[in-house]
Structure 1
């Protein structure tokens, strides 16, 4: 695996997705996660595709060392929004062993993520085995709803 970098079109696409979400429109399975920046403390938002697995809601970072993942890990809480609905969540990063079954489920649950991983060079074929092998390389998070 090479050191994958985000494609040039990713930031403009993310801005577009967030603008559409702010209008209250659903963008397929995408949500927007907002957390405070780990250095600035300012709200940082990024689109993502969380998915259900064994009763939990999970997401997988598209790249090792992604800024949003480092911010999410540092914050530990955030706001998950879809259209005009939002909810406060705790953000729990999984260790490699906990992440393996979630990564195995990822290809079936998030086909657009498989395409993204293939283009970036993270995986060749997008099989569950390939994704499971990324445990410890890609950040995997579980979102737990905050109860107030």
Structure 2
């Protein structure tokens, strides 16, 4: 099992991404997921890059043990925003077997995520095989539409 800490640049980078999104400026494919904190109950917002695969919208946690993933898992629902548009989603965590094909697709669709994973030491080359091998170590979620907000 991987035992990595988030890179030092992650929090400052996330703050910039959140500020830009809050201004209503979409930043490429990035979106913001807001869920209640599992301990405080206060809204916690995290930028991420979901992608469409086999008709579903998926996101892969950037590193094992990510706080946002634990909050998403506990909440089960959240608000997914891009620019000024938001929608309520149900958050479904995939089993390792369900996650394998999604993880294989991830490097094809989310090159920025591959770069992050390489800089963080999660993968070496960023191949589909490397990502598939992370099934059961990296959280993978599917966002199902709930209601419009």
Give TM-score scaled by structure 1 length: 0.97
State how far apart, in whole Å, the 2-side matches of 1:120 and 1:4 are: 8
CA shift, 1:146, in A, is 0.2
Deviation (angstroms), 1:147 = 3.8
Q: Deviations over 1:81-115 (max 9, x none)?
A: 00000000000000000000000000000000001
Report the alpha carbon displacement of residue 3 of structure 1 after superposing the two structures with TM.
Answer: 2.3
In 2, are the aligned partners of 1:2 and 1:121 still within 8 Å (CA)? no
How far residue 6 of structure 1 moved from its aligned partner, in angstroms, is: 1.2
Task: State how far apart, in whole Å, the 2-side matches of 1:93 and 1:125 are.
Answer: 26
Number of residue equivalences? 148
The aligned residue for residue 66 of structure 2 is 66
Residue ranges of structure 2 left out of the alignment (5+ in a row)? none
- TM value normalised by structure 2: 0.96
Name the structure 2 match of 1:32: 32
Aligned pairs (5 A) from 1:1-148: 3-147=3-147
Q: Deviations over 1:22-54 (max 9, x none)?
A: 111011110000000000000000000000000
**SS of equivalent to 1:3:** coil
Q: What is the Cα deviation at residue 2 of structure 1?
A: 5.5
Paired with 1:2 and 1:99, the residues of 2 have a C-alpha distance of 17
